[in-house]
Amino acid sequence: MAAPHPRLGLALLVGGGLVSFVALGATPHDGLHPLALTGALLPLQLAALVWALLNRR
């Protein structure tokens, strides 16, 4: 199996962070629901999981 590009994991991690940042910014701050916070952080968590799988040795 061919090795993935070394910066692919980093690009996914940065992209997941940006999606999480935008999703958290779009939620209303007056009545922040815990599920909205979890949903906003989910892309970052999934990107970190993919990054860890791509960088395991």
Q: Are the C-beta atoms of 13 and 51 separated by less than 8 Å?
A: yes
Long-range contacts of 27-35 (CB under 8 A, 24+ apart): none
What average pLDDT does the segment 10-18 reach? Answer: 88
Q: What is the pLDDT of residues 15-45, one digit of tens each?
A: 988 998 998 888 877 777 888 888 889 999 9
Structure tokens at 4: 């993935």
Residue scoring higher pLDDT (49 or 33): 49
Instruction: Give residue 4's pLDDT.
Output: 65
Structure tokens at 54: 């791509």
